[in-house]
Amino acid sequence: MPAISTNDLKNGITLEIDNVLFQVVEFQHVKPGKGGAFVRSKLRNLRNGAVIDRTFNAGVRVEQAMLEKKDMQFLYRDGDEYVFMDQETYDQQNVAPTALGDAADYMVENMVALIAFYNGEIVTVEIPPSVELTISDTDPGVQGDRVSGARKPATLETGKVIQVPLFINPGDKVKVDTRSGDYITRV
């Protein structure tokens, strides 16, 4: 595993610190008037998603974890697990919902996701920033409900409940932001 200097940190780099994988969320080089320079950083634990603050002295060597990333297609759910297929070798692999995190709320069949492996273990699953999903259940829109900014709950085909404008009906396709879970537009 290559060791890099804390001066070379960048957002998105994966580090192995005390046998735990962390991804750099943000960092800041600080050079105070007195004393040595240091690097203040926010690191996200890739196992449980917790974000911690960590300060390193400038120039300290840390281990960079090399992740193998593959495009894999989501095929179907098998009980609690999600089955993905490698698009190059056609090998199938079961993925636990905990490895998917919030991405599980937006997974539909035949969707392609970027899956990162570390020593053969799935670490992260990245999906597009927005997806198009069908509304499976919501109160029907009523003529005259045109209040600007009013929202109502709607259930997506994946089971996730989001807030949508009053004019959205069951069966409508909507675009949803996968990072925040917000309604973007009707498709």
Q: What is the mean pLDDT of residues 140-145?
A: 67
Read off the pTM: 0.73
Per-residue b or e along 172-183, where b marks 16 or more CB atoms closer than 10 Å to that residue's CB: bebebebeeeeb
What pLDDT score does 142 carry? 66
Q: Which domains does the chain have, with CATH numbers?
A: 3-64 (2.30.30.30), 68-126 (2.40.50.140), 130-186 (2.40.50.140)
- Whether the pLDDT of residue 72 is over 90: the answer is yes
* Confidence band for 1, pLDDT divided at 50, 70 and 90: low
- Report the chain's mean pLDDT, rounded to a whole number: 87
* Confidence band for 121, pLDDT divided at 50, 70 and 90: confident
What pLDDT score does 74 carry? 92
- Whether the pLDDT of residue 146 is over 80: the answer is no
- Whether the pLDDT of residue 167 is over 90: the answer is no
- Whether the pLDDT of residue 177 is over 80: the answer is yes
